[in-house]
Amino acid sequence: MPGYFIYCRKSSEAEDRQVLSIESQTRELEQLAAKLNLSVTEILIESKSAKEPGRPVFNQMMQRLYRGEASGIICWKLDRLARNPVDGGSVIWAIKQHGIKVMTPAQSYAREDDNIILMYIEFGMAQKYVDDLSKNVKRGLKTKIENGWYPGVAPAGYLNNTDHQTGQNNLVKDPERFHLIRRMWDLMLTGLYSGSQIRELANNEWGFRTRPTRKMGGKPMVESAIYQIFTKPFYYGWIEYPKGSDQWYKGKHEPMITEAEYDKVQTLLGRDGNPRPSIHTTFAFTGLIRCGECDARVTAEEKHQLMCGNCRFKFAYRRRESCPRCHVAIENMTNPKFLSYTYYHCTKRKNPLCSQRCITGADLERQIEDYLSRIQVSERFKDWAIKYLHELHEKETKSRTDDIQAQRKAHDACLRQVDNLVKLKTLPQNADGSLLSDEEYGRQRVALLKEKSRLEELFQDTGQRVEKWLESSAKTFEFACLARTRFAEGNFQTKKEILATIGSNLILKDKILIIEASKPFLILEMSMPPCEEENGSIEPENIRSTYRQEGANAPLPPRRLGDLGEVRTYGHKAERAAALIYAHFKKEFGGSIRQIPEPGNNSTQEISLKE
């Protein structure tokens, strides 16, 4: 007579946390078979959830039972066999039609025992347990996200943490990886690195390894993971749950970046978060400039030529052994002149018929140097402007208390709006959504929470922001003083970073590079009188004791104010430039981190417009 199958199953999911291990089940069931004097045909083991049909070991076992290879099944409990009606029904059908038996330590089930009704109840209870568990998990995740905590495994740079006093699950910074992920954002913000280049730096030079878990982790970052980081709003403090629902929640975790930095990276990545075009690592300005006619990228190539020492004919010498005109072998030429040129031109990927012609790298560099000369300031001017910046900083420090009070009032008003919105949504008269629909409530709630978050950041960080305004303004003058020299003496990477720093929208049309300078350098350029633009740098005037009284009310030309009209006017041109640049960083703290190698060594000096 055929023996019995011993079937042992354990799922790694929450439903089986209190179930015996596979080894324990096997040991207990072997003892049960020996006690009942039942022969064991085979021990079948499976690690898979039974809440849905499709377990391969279980399905094969049922087919073998139908073929009569065994008399029945020995299992720890019925829920080891099935937690869904399809698999439960197949077991009951096998008992009724094929006469198999199911043995457990507590109960046996067979056609002749007439107790199949108990099996229906057991399988129904197992199915109900799974349904309730799913509801409870979803309810717990919803409660967690409403409390501001990420529902799931913490993204890279953070760790799941349980507060031992309150028992609440939250997120904390990963001490090993948080600063490395932030460095990845910093590199991407420069606009000089692709995601693949950043991943290689992190894995090979920084020694980055993913967070180790029980079954995986501790390995280098894969390429898809780097783009998941750069496209996840979680890192600036907002969480969408469920994913794709457009329902947003303000997270309580410490953001790694600002929303402005996130938006900048999305722009760099391109539409729908696709990786931006790769940046060439040999030429100085590839990846930064677009064609002014078709908006395609501008690329570069090198051409190598030789001027024949005999007939002076110039030709491309690669893959040639002699001059095509006089046929003298290159190795036999007298004083041949080897020439190398770099040309920049449109890739023509968007429009193959683009009419823009190429420009030499030397001509392009001359245009960039010309622009740098227009924003260049002397050492003396820089020192004077920075000194004046400290005067402005002292005034800002005195008015800081008033700013904080105004911000707190705005924050309190925003809180009242949130409360009123919730009251309106929960009114009995709004049970049918006639006063405020769910969609409108969600939209207004997200907008108010974002405003509340912005105001909290303002009054919590007012002192630090004032310091940042001062530091960023001073770095602008430092850059303007030294950029031209560094550009002339630096390598291709230095030149690339300097160009990326002064402007983001760079257009090449009709062999002319159009630089749309970032606000600080635009202000500095426009603050220079025409007569001094010709001289190339600004020198401060001698300051007499009566100057401030006479010049303090001197009007500032409207074209130099731009959209910063709230700034008081200053008579001295250094005051003008310093005040406008300082006001720019005060109004919208923007820019990106740039690091320029010092000429002659491998060290770097930060010239960032933003920390």
DSSP string, 274-291: PPPPPPPSSSSSTTTEEE
Q: Give the end of a domain, one of 109, 142, 175.
A: 142
281 exposure class (CB count in 10 Å sphere: 0-12, 13-18, 19+): middle
Question: Could you read off the pLDDT of 519-554 as tens digits, one per residue?
Answer: 777 777 776 655 443 444 444 444 333 323 333 333
Per-residue pLDDT, 396: 67
My answer on whether 198 and 59 are in the same domain is no
Query: What sign for the dihedral angle of Cα 603, 607, 610, 611?
Result: positive
Q: Note whether residue 283 is domain-resident.
A: no
Last residue of a domain, one of 273, 307, 341: 273
Tell me what the mean pLDDT of segment 351-375 comes to.
90
Gap between the Cα atoms of 194 and 191, Å rounded: 8
Residue 48 shares a structural domain with residue 115: yes
Q: Same structural domain for residues 457 and 509? A: yes
Establish if 434 belongs to a structural domain.
yes
561 in a structural domain? yes
Q: Is 280 among the domain residues?
A: no
Exposure class string for 494-518: b at 16+ Cβ within 10 A, else e? bbbbbbbbbbbebbbeeeebebebb
pLDDT reported for residue 536? 42
- Global pTM value: 0.45
Q: What DSSP character marks residue 14?
A: G
pLDDT of 456 over the 50 cut: yes
Q: What is the pLDDT of residues 322-332, one digit of tens each?
A: 888 898 887 77
Question: Average pLDDT, stretch 143-170?
Answer: 81
Q: Which helix (H) or strand (E) holds 412?
A: helix 400-426
Mean pLDDT of 211-228: 85
Q: What are the angstrom distances between the C-alpha of 122 and each of 128, 179, 246? A: 10, 52, 41
Q: Is residue 516 part of a domain?
A: yes
Q: Which two tokens stand for residue 94?
A: 């096998």
Closest CA to 208 of 193, 225, 192: 225
* Exposed / middle / buried, residue 468 (Cβ in 10 Å: 0-12, 13-18, 19+): middle
The strand pair at 4-9 and 40-46 is best described as parallel
Task: Tell whether 153 is covered by a domain.
Answer: no
Structure tokens at 577: 């430039």
CA atoms of 356 and 297, how far apart (whole Å): 12
Residue ranges making up the domain that contains 189: 158-273
What's phi and psi for 602, nearest 5 deg? Answer: -100, 0
In this predicted structure, what is the pLDDT of residue 586?
Answer: 62
Query: Quick one: what percent of the chain has pLDDT higher than 90?
Result: 14
Domain containing residue 67: CATH number: 3.40.50.1390
CA–CA distance, 180 with 190 (Å, rounded to integer) = 16
Phi, psi of 140 (to 5 degrees): -65, -40
With respect to residue 313, please indicate whether it lies within any of the assigned structural domains: yes
Calculate what percentage of the chain has a pLDDT beyond 70: 78
Give the pLDDT band of residue 274 (cuts 50, 70, 90).
Answer: very low
Q: What does the pLDDT read at residue 293? A: 92
Rounded to whole angstroms, the Cα distance separating 236 from 189 reads 14
pLDDT of residue 553: 35
Question: Where does the pLDDT of residue 574 fall: very low under 50, low under 70, confident under 90, or very high at 90 and above?
Answer: low
Q: Is the peptide bond before 242 cis (omega within 30 degrees of 0)?
A: yes
Task: Count the domains in the chain.
Answer: 4
Most confident of the following: 9-23, 312-326, 549-563: 312-326
> Which helix (H) or strand (E) covers residue 524, if one does?
helix 519-526
Per residue in 402-431, pLDDT tens? 667 777 788 888 888 888 888 888 888 888
CB 487 within 8 A of CB 494: yes
Residue 564: exposed, middle, or buried by beta-carbon count in 10 A (0-12, 13-18, 19+)? middle
Mean pLDDT of 385-405: 72
pLDDT in tens, 291-336: 999 999 899 888 878 888 888 888 887 777 788 889 888 777 878 8
- Residues 449 and 388 grouped into a single domain: yes
Beta-bridge partner residues of 338: 306
For the chain, give the mean pLDDT: 77
Are residues 317 and 172 part of one domain?
A: no
Do residue 85 and residue 17 come from a single domain? Answer: yes
Q: 293 and 269 in one domain? A: no
Per-residue pLDDT reduced to its tens digit, 38-86: 999 999 999 888 888 889 999 999 999 998 899 999 998 888 888 888 9
pLDDT digits (tens, 9 = 90+) for 473-514: 788 888 888 888 888 888 877 888 888 888 778 899 999 999
Residue scoring higher pLDDT (64 or 434): 64
Q: What are phi and psi of 343, to 5 degrees?
A: -120, 140
Place 459 in a pLDDT band, splitting at 50, 70 and 90. low
Judge whether 252 and 246 are in contact, CB under 8 Å.
Answer: no
Gap between the terminal Cα atoms of the chain: 79
